[in-house]
Amino acid sequence: MKRRTGAATIAEVAAAAGVSPATVSRVMNDRFLGDASIAERVRSVAIDLAYSPSHLARSLALGQTSAIAFVVPDLANPAFQAMLSSLSKAAAKDGYRVLVADSAESPSDEPLLVSEIRRRCDAVVLCAPRMSDAELVSLAGSLRPLVLINRANDQIDAPSLSIDYRSGIQDLAQHLADLGHRHLVFIEGPEGSASNRHRVDGLDDFQRRSPGVRIDRIPGGATSEDGLAVAARVRDSGATAALAFNDLVAIGLLNGLINLGVRVPEDMSVTGFDDIPFARYTTPPLTTLSVPHEELGAQAWHRMRALVSGEKPEPNVVFHPRLEVRGSTGPAPR
């Protein structure tokens, strides 16, 4: 096959040190119990040859790669980036690395993408998958160890971390109602997204409880561009307050409204969802729901570590986002 990479192999070190590969392996892994002078010799030869064990070969023999995958629907979203950042940091502390994948391009191949990436590592953290429940359930078995973020499912036996979108969006609606708004409009997230569905359900609950409030819905998306795009429709909707699917949409919307001469919050209130780092810096600062993304990433790793080491993971948790009232919401006009 003759495909030498140039790097020294354990056999070469063994030969150079006059010992067997088994001994080199033991020395390299601090499992060597014999004569210290041998260990020393091996170590020095290893350094001379710039030997460093092939992680690949090691993984194959050991049956584990010390890597996990993190799959998100949109790597460009700060909310997911925050999770990735903390997940990666937490995993690194235990010697694990994370492999990323973004299913944005073609949500329809998400199951394939996930299966493929799962085979490259020891486990997968699936964040807010867009695939259907049926697909998710049927895939879950082959994905294990698996940690689910933002997509609890009692048919799946995997630790799950989630955010209570349903009650969260109601807090937002209540906040607006308290300010006197009676006509709200919700800019929806990506079609088929579970987290959008939860928000819609929450708003339905709310509306049921508050007959005096009307809530319209406008199709939107998950990015600032989507928010910008619906600005005119929002202005013309007759509503006095807009609930955006997330902060990104809210920021785009904010910008669009301002460009249209709509004053926020005097003419119209706007809310976001996520509390991404920049929500506090917009003009006006965005009223939103604070979701602890860093915490989610870190917790995901804790669950995962338990899983891969055969322990019983801590119980699932549902985070209740905290209402963060800032300047983008105010009393209803008139």
Binding footprint of DNA on the chain (CB under 7 A) = 1-5, 7-11, 18-26, 28-29, 31-35, 38, 51, 53-54, 56-58, 60-63
Residue type, 270: V
Contact partner at residue 18 from DNA, a second copy, none, CB < 5 to 8 Å by partner kind: DNA
Tell me phi and psi for residue 215, to 5 degrees. Answer: -125, 115
Q: How far is the CB of 282 from a second copy (least distance, A)?
A: 5
Reported as type and span, the H/E element at residue 124 is: strand 123-127
From CA 219, how far away is CA 239, in angstroms rounded?
A: 15
* Binding region for a second copy (CB under 8 A) out of 18-26, 165-173, 191-199, 279-287: 279-287
Contact partner at residue 292 from a second copy, DNA, none, CB < 5 to 8 Å by partner kind: none
Q: Parallel, antiparallel, or unpaired: how do β-strands 317-319 and 288-290 relate? A: unpaired
Contact partner at residue 20 from a second copy, DNA, none, CB < 5 to 8 Å by partner kind: DNA
From CA 15, how far away is CA 33, in angstroms rounded?
A: 20
Site for a second copy in 33-52 (CB under 8 A): 50, 52
What is the DSSP code (8-state) at residue 278?
T
From CA 323, how far away is CA 171, in angstroms rounded?
A: 7
From CA 8, how far away is CA 14, in angstroms rounded?
A: 10
Nearest to 307 by CA among 69, 90, 146, 83: 146
Contact partner at residue 84 from DNA, a second copy, none, CB < 5 to 8 Å by partner kind: a second copy
CB 107 within 8 A of CB 73: yes
- Using CB under 8 A as the criterion, what x/- string covers residues 113-152 for binding a second copy? --x-x-xx---------------------x----------
From CA 216, how far away is CA 207, in angstroms rounded?
A: 10
Helix (H, G, I), strand (E, B) or coil at 137: helix
Q: How far is the CB of 7 from DNA (least distance, A)?
A: 7
Q: How far is the CB of 18 from DNA (least distance, A)?
A: 7
* Binding region for a second copy (CB under 8 A) out of 13-21, 205-213, 278-286, 303-311: 278-286
State the residues that interact with a second copy by CB under 8 A: 1, 3, 5, 50, 52-57, 59-61, 63, 65, 67, 75-76, 78, 81-82, 84-85, 88-89, 92, 97-102, 104-105, 115, 117, 119-120, 142, 224, 251, 254-255, 277-278, 280-284
